[in-house]
Amino acid sequence: MRKTRIKFMRHRSMITGALVLLAAILPLQLSADDQAAWIDLTHDLSADAVFWPTAEPFSMTTDFEGMTEKGYFYSAYTFKTAEHGGTHIDAPVHFAEGGNPVNEIPLDQLIGDAVVIDVSKAVADDRDHLISVADIEQWEAQHGAIPDGSIVLLRTGFGQFWPDAEKYLGTALRGQEGVAQLSFPGLDPLAADWLMQNRHIKAVGIDTASIDYGKSQYFKTHVALMTHNVPAFENVANLEQLPATGVYVIALPAKIRGGSGGPLRIIARVGSTAQEPDPAQVMQQVKDTEQAFAATMADRDFDAFTAFLSDEAVFFSGEKPLRGKQQISDTWQHFYQEPGAPFSWMPETVVVLDSGNLALSSGPVLDPEGNLVGRFNSIWRLDPDGEWRIVFDKGSDVCEKEP
């Protein structure tokens, strides 16, 4: 019985041999500059742009457009806009007396590495979803703690509705009547407080009209952030194009003296960050990922198990390796159909390459009674979407002592 279980168990080879194998079979990594791409996170500012129901919409008039008497083309326009419409920034003074106005926000708070917390699945079930501490902790269980000095971007999926005000805001009504009908997700004030007390972040951005959810009456999330001089970016575009990590953001607003906000041009670079990956942080990410992977067995959650598999994963099992996500899933499914977990595992050692995108995790495999029955070594790869997925796995029996 033990042999039957162990031969399907998780990737077990000597650490040195596994790292040599990685060097031989994985392609050379491109430089950060070669992999990087810029993504515009800004909606066009136009008459179609979504504005708060009580704010005047954007307007633009033509001062001159055409050929001049001197024979050259010339155009000039005059535009009028509220501070808080379209993709824009909320300066701390917006909800905190004495807070920084937009022209006094330090540039360092507007530029830097970012993380993207995706709550779009929860929002699909509840458009008034409050992004909770639990949502943040779930993200951190997969990716590690939010690094100090990060910009936190919250992806609700509402960007898909822009610029349809009725779908995006929950109403097409204007004025106070429209405010009363607002319906969209936002950051829970308790989660905002948690971030201020437990994480040192630069700014928060979201792909909705407000960092507070639509039904908010007291805008406690704004207050929680801005009393700590943390600005918010609202109506951010294209967050679905960003991975969870490995994002570098530049968010520069119009420099309005004394302003409580203003139009924002925000862009992101994917595939290159300002700093080299922190080895300790990456090791913790891999350890957390391995623990979450192991929890799928204890929780009897087969769907969660398959989510950790790379499409091209290889699990060494018996005489022939299992190749690909589908074959591995088909073979492992029966382990998740039994009432109780037939075995468990836990990470004991994690080794990460300097590139920060490949790692090896190893540790013991235990039977239901907690007896050591094998060991595993797992090769994990950080995919472009920011998720760690397993690419190689091989189990081995425990060598018993000679009498």
Mean pLDDT over the full length of the chain: 88
In a domain, 120, yes or no: yes
Give the confidence band of 272 by pLDDT, cuts at 50, 70, 90: low
Q: Per-residue pLDDT tens for 334-389?
A: 999 988 999 999 999 999 998 788 999 999 999 999 999 999 999 999 887 778 99
Considering the domain architecture, whether residues 92 and 229 belong to the same structural domain is answered as yes
End-of-domain residue from the set 270, 303, 333: 270
Of 363, 368, 369, 361, the C-alpha closest to 398 is 363
Residue 177 has pLDDT above 60, yes or no: yes
Q: What is the pLDDT of residue 398?
A: 63
Is a pLDDT exceeding 60 seen at residue 128?
yes
Q: Assess if residue 67 is contained within a domain.
A: yes
189, 395, 399 from 312: Cα distances, Å: 41, 18, 30
**Percent over 90 (pLDDT), the chain:** 79
More confident residue, 105 or 12: 105
pLDDT beyond 50 at 118:
yes
Give residue 134's pLDDT. Answer: 97
Cβ–Cβ under 8 Å, residues 258 and 277: no
Taking 90 as the threshold, does the pLDDT of residue 8 lie above it? no
pLDDT value of residue 338: 87
Q: Which of 36-40, 59-63, 257-261, 284-288 bottoms out in mean pLDDT, i.e. has the lowest? A: 36-40
Structure confidence at residue 276 as a pLDDT band (50, 70, 90): low
Share above pLDDT 70 across residues of the chain, in percent, rounded to a whole number: 88
Query: Do 27 and 83 fall into the same domain?
Result: no
94 lies in the same domain as 173 = yes
Arithmetic mean of pLDDT, 240-262: 96
Same domain, 319 and 380: yes
Q: Which DSSP string do the residues of 264-327 spell out, in sequence order?
A: EEEEEEES--SS---HHHHHHHHHHHHHHHHHHHHTT-HHHHHHTEEEEEEEE-TTS-EESHHH
> Does residue 77 belong to any structural domain of this protein?
yes
Which DSSP string do the residues of 253-276 spell out, in sequence order?
Answer: E---TT-SEEEEEEEEEES--SS-
For residue 259, the tally of other CB atoms under 10 A from its CB is 18
Pair 259, 316 in one domain: no
Instruction: Kindly state whether residues 15 and 58 are assigned to the same domain.
Output: no
Assigned domain for 154 exists: yes
- Give the model's pLDDT for residue 280: 84
Residue 30 pLDDT greater than 90, yes or no: no
pLDDT > 80? residue 228 = yes
The arithmetic mean of pLDDT across residues 302-328, rounded, is: 91
In a domain, 305, yes or no: yes
Q: According to the per-residue pLDDT averaged within each range, which of 123-137, 267-281, 335-349, 388-402 is highest?
A: 123-137
Residue 215 belongs to domain with CATH number: 3.50.30.50
Encoding tokens for residue 253?
């607003």
CATH number of the domain encompassing residue 328: 3.10.450.50
Q: What is the pLDDT of residues 194-208, one digit of tens each?
A: 999 999 999 999 999
What's the pLDDT at 384? 73
Residue with tokens 């189990």: 395
Q: Which domain holds residue 383?
A: 2-32+277-397
Q: End-to-end CA distance of the chain, in Å?
A: 23
Q: Which of 20-29, 145-154, 242-251, 322-331 has the lowest mean pLDDT?
A: 20-29
* Residue 119 sits in the same domain as residue 242: yes
Least confident of 318-332, 360-374, 385-399: 385-399
pLDDT of residue 277: 66
Q: Are residues 261 and 339 in the same domain?
A: no
If one counts the domains in the chain, the total is 2
Give the model's pLDDT for residue 36. 65
Q: CA–CA separation, 130 vs 183, rounded Å?
A: 11
Whether 175 and 315 map to the same domain: the answer is: no
Residue 56 tokens read as 């005047």
161-189 mean pLDDT: 97
Radius of gyration of the chain (CA): 25
Residue 402 lies in a domain: no
| pTM assigned to the model | 0.67
Choose the final residue of a domain: 238, 270, 302: 270
pLDDT at 262 over 80: yes
Residues 307, 289: one domain? yes
Claim to verify: residue 28 and residue 70 sit in the same structural domain: no
| Domain end call among 218, 250, 270 | 270
In this prediction, residue 10 carries a pLDDT of 42
Inform me whether the pLDDT recorded for 37 exceeds 80: yes
403 within some domain: no
| Residue of 249, 196, 255 whose CA lies nearest to 224 | 196
Asked if residue 363 lies in contact with residue 15, where contact means CB atoms within 8 angstroms, the answer is no
Average pLDDT estimate for 64-69: 97
234 lies in the same domain as 315:
no
Domain presence at residue 142: yes
